Amino acid sequence: MKRLAVLTIILLLIAGGAYAKDYEVKKKAGDYDVTVKIDKNPPVVGNNNIGIEIKDVSVKYVTDAKVMVEYSMPAMPGMPAMNYKTDTELKGYEYRGKMSLSMSGSWNIAVKITRGGKTATVKFNVDAH
Ligand SMILES: [Cu+2]
């Protein structure tokens, strides 16, 4: 019985690890529910793939938006402010792009969703390692 409990815990840990792999942020932006996933958790110095899913008020996936990702680090001693942006490409229901984070530390990320002449923005912070 005890052995079974231990085995169950190990299996749960493995399953949990597999599902909690991506770095994930869920936020509202205007009328949209936005889920942002980064394939490195924590995000790393170097290339990180970012995926964005957007649902509208009727809980349908939005596939006709233009989605841009801006990522920046404010100036710090010995380093000027760094600002980058990248386009995304729609694959299925997910807008995909690549962020190249050039140094470790805190990055500001802004996902800009433009549709019908309006732009909604999701902002969050990641700590790159
Ligand atoms: Cu820096």
CA 26 – ligand 1 centroid, Å: 26
How far is residue 106's CA from residue 8's CA, in Å, rounded to a whole number? 37
Q: 124: closest CA among 56, 63, 69?
A: 69
> What is the arrangement of strands in the sheet containing 105-115, beginning at the earlier edge strand?
82-87, 66-73, 105-115, 118-128
pLDDT at 2: 72
How far is residue 54's CA from residue 28's CA, in Å, rounded to a whole number? 9
CA 118 – ligand 1 centroid, Å: 32
What percentage of residues in the chain have a pLDDT greater than 90? 81
pLDDT band for position 13 (50/70/90)?
Answer: low
Is 21 a residue whose pLDDT tops 90?
A: no
CATH of domain 22-128: 2.60.40.3340
